[in-house]
Structure 1
Amino acid sequence: MRRETLQFEQDEAIAFDLLLATPFVVVRRACPRRDWIPVGLRGSSRSERYGGWLHRDSVLGVYDPSSLKAVQTRRALPSFEALRLLQRRWTGMELEWGPVGSVGFELATGVEAVSPESDLDLLIQAPQPFSRAFARELIECGATLPATLDVQVTTNAGSFALAEYAYQQGAVALRQLGGSVLVSDLWCDSAASVA
Structure 2
Amino acid sequence: MKNKMLIIATIVFFLTVNTAYYWQGKIGIFLIPILLILIVVYLGLGVLLLTQMFILISEKFTDKSRLVNVILLAVVLTLTFFYPLGLVDFDTLEGENILIAEREGSANCMVTLKLKDNVTFKRRSVCFSVSENKGDYHLQNDTIYFDNTNLQSHGNEFYEFAVIEPSKFDKDGKNFNLICYSSLTDTVGFELQIIKNEMNTLINKKPSR
TM-score by length of 2: 0.26
Greater C-alpha Rg: 2
Higher relative contact order (CA 8 A, sep 6+): 2
* Higher helix content, 1 or 2: 2
TM-score by length of 1: 0.27
